[in-house]
Chains A and B, each alone.
Chain A
Amino acid sequence: MLRTRELTKRFGAHVAVDAVDIDVRPGTLHAIIGPNGAGKTTLFNLLSGELRPSGGSIEFADCDVTRLDATSRSHLGMGRSFQRTNVFPKLTVFENVRLAAQSRTDQSFALWRTAASLPAVNARAEAALEEIGLLGHRAQLASELAGGDQRLLELAITLATDPVLLLLDEPSQGLSPEDARRLIDRIGALAARYTIVLIEHNMPLVMGLSDEITVMNFGRILAHGTPAEIRADPAVRAAYLGKTA
């Protein structure tokens, strides 16, 4: 589904992502973990198209997307979430999601229709809110939601774009343990329907959830395997799990 070859990003002399090969198989939840500064977020931004790679390639659904920008990748079915909550604050919860659904139509330059009366868009938006459990908050302003709910809304926005692949960047960042748990549970439920790439700092959270894990350190891949293999890997234990496992 998603494949990188020799993917590299340099910032001056610093190599943030160093010849990374990743294969995300369809229908799996693939976690990318690593300590702070391991290059996870840079890798994520290369995958989503926010950053241009210095070298290597990215293939999505048998299509070379290395040179495509984030907007184009979104239209191919790669939906991303953001590390910091990234919603439309002064719009209602429903409008946040409705806009995302609207972006999948050719109606966005229609000047003479009413935005609120596009039935397919409204249905898509409601389905996304339902899926994420925010339907009860639809009339609230996004900025009035609690932190955990905002992160869920962020996810609902991404779902409303009808993605095939979800790229989730540290979704639990900054959340209380309960909210993080709740979010991870939602992501677990989504894993049945979507292929997911999950970047996460909080390792215990992803252990029970992932089909495959790639561990990064200093911009390189340190290890790759199932959660059980990763847990047993001595290099990973030394670099990363030392304190927690």
Chain B
Amino acid sequence: MTRFAVLVVVVALAPLVLHYPELETQILTFGLLAVAFNLLLGEMGFLSFGQATFNGVGAYVAANALIAAHAALPLALLAGLVAGGASAAVIGALAITGRGVYGVMLTFAFNEMAYYIAFQWRDVTGGDNGLRGIPSPALFGLSLDDATRYYYFTAVVVLLAFAALLRIIDSPFGAVLRAIRENEDRARAIGFRVRRYKIAAFAISGALSGLAGGLYAELFRFVPLQAIDLDTSTNVVIATLLGGIGSPYGPLLGAAIFTVLSNSLSHVWSHWPLVFGLIFCAVVLFFRGGLWGIADRWGRRAAHA
């Protein structure tokens, strides 16, 4: 609870300290995507290499709801959430039939297919020009067409989603996911229908990813094709491993660092991924718990001293 309180304070104060509300909003939406991804990896032990699929589906559905149906923002976000969850349930149900690396490759393959569909289906996605013409955000008549306001709106939504996820992780359902991660056969032998839990976990992860996509679409009122491409899926994996998979706070931290570095370094030096790659290798090789693991250890030590 105290950690969550610290998170709320950090999120609330961030725009006052750093005056880049768009960048900070991006951290939040990307953070939500990473946290959703880590429900599968950190809790259930399944590496989804196609997390951008659900992000993209959510973004396109929410954006089209806003453009074509003139839906209210909460409704559009809800549509993105449902679409993300539904697509993840279907893809998850197929992907988990492959064990180990085959399952990973299936999520990867479905991502590639989703990307290709988005690339071709210009009426809905705008193809490689991206989807434009999304109306400016408003909430019950209140305009959110201001970067700081939209940041705070996003912050509330993301923090609520994160709190929900923390609850799910602590729930009996979350406990079963860890049982599956630790020993799938034993989980089955003590009477859990493993497949159902896996599909449900995919649906939840996909729903939160779809929500992240919807929030992202409204940020720049634009959905680039990158929202659904494999680079984004890879970035989610990298940011999460960087932050650490042992705690839901790890992916948030990783997403923040990744977003800040990729934005600032790319202005300075176009070969920034080289630097980032080195940092990433160092963390994965020497700090298995990720940066959150290190921070957590420091925190405990400070608490003891």
Contacts and interface: CB of A to CB of B under 8 A. Distances in A.
B186 interface: yes
Interface string A79-115: 0101000111111000100111011110111111111
A88 B193 contact: no
13 contacts: A70-B188, A70-B189, A74-B189, A86-B186, A88-B186, A91-B179, A99-B179, A99-B187, A103-B190, A109-B172, A111-B173, A115-B174, A118-B172
Contacts of B178: 88, 91, 95
Nearest to A158: B190
A115 B175 contact: yes
A60 to B, nearest CB: 15
Interface residues of A, number: 36
B176 interface: yes
Interface of A: 48, 70-71, 74-75, 80, 82, 86-91, 95, 98-100, 102-105, 107-116, 118, 157-158, 160-161
B170 interface: yes
Contacts of A104: 191
B223 to A, nearest CB: 30
Nearest to A107: B172
A111 B167 CA distance: 7
A228 B189 CA distance: 35
Contacts of A111: 167-168, 171, 173, 204
Contacts of B190: 74, 99-100, 103, 157-158, 160-161
Nearest to B180: A88
B183 interface: yes
Contacts of A161: 190-191
Contact of A108 (B170, B176, B183): B176
Contacts of A102: 172, 175-176
Contact of A157 (B167, B174, B186, B197): B186
A103 B191 contact: yes
B183 A86 contact: yes
Contact of B175 (A90, A99, A112, A158): A99
A73 to B, nearest CB: 9
A71 B186 contact: no
**Chain B contact residues: helix, strand, loop or mixed:** helix
A74 B175 contact: no
A114 B191 contact: no
Contact of A113 (B172, B186, B188, B197): B172
Nearest to A106: B172
A48 B189 CA distance: 9
A95 B175 contact: yes
Of B173, B175, B200, chain A has the most CB atoms within 10 Å of the CB of B175
B90 to A, nearest CB: 19
Contacts of B173: 108-111
Contacts of B191: 71, 74-75, 103-104, 161
B67 to A, nearest CB: 33
Interface in B184-239: 185-193, 197, 200, 204
Of B172, B173, B188, B193, chain A has the most CB atoms within 10 Å of the CB of B172
A71 B175 contact: no
Contacts of A103: 190-192
A112 B200 CA distance: 14
Contacts of B176: 99, 102, 108
B145 interface: no
Contacts of B171: 110-115
Nearest to B192: A103
A231 B197 CA distance: 49
A75 B192 CA distance: 9
A80 B178 CA distance: 21
Given A100-B190, A115-B172, A161-B190, 9 more contacts: A90-B182, A91-B178, A99-B179, A99-B187, A102-B176, A114-B170, A116-B170, A157-B190, A158-B190
A112 B170 contact: no
Nearest to B164: A111
A171 B171 CA distance: 32
B181 to A, nearest CB: 8
B170 A109 contact: no
B22 to A, nearest CB: 33
B183 A89 contact: yes
Nearest to A72: B191
Nearest to A95: B175
B207 to A, nearest CB: 12
A88 B172 contact: no
A101 to B, nearest CB: 9
B170 A115 contact: yes
Contact of B193 (A71, A90, A114): A71
Q: Which 8 pairs show the lowest CB-CB distances between chains A and B?
A: A88-B182, A74-B191, A103-B191, A115-B175, A115-B172, A100-B190, A107-B172, A103-B190
Contacts of B183: 86-89
A191 B204 CA distance: 44
Contacts of B185: 86
B162 to A, nearest CB: 15
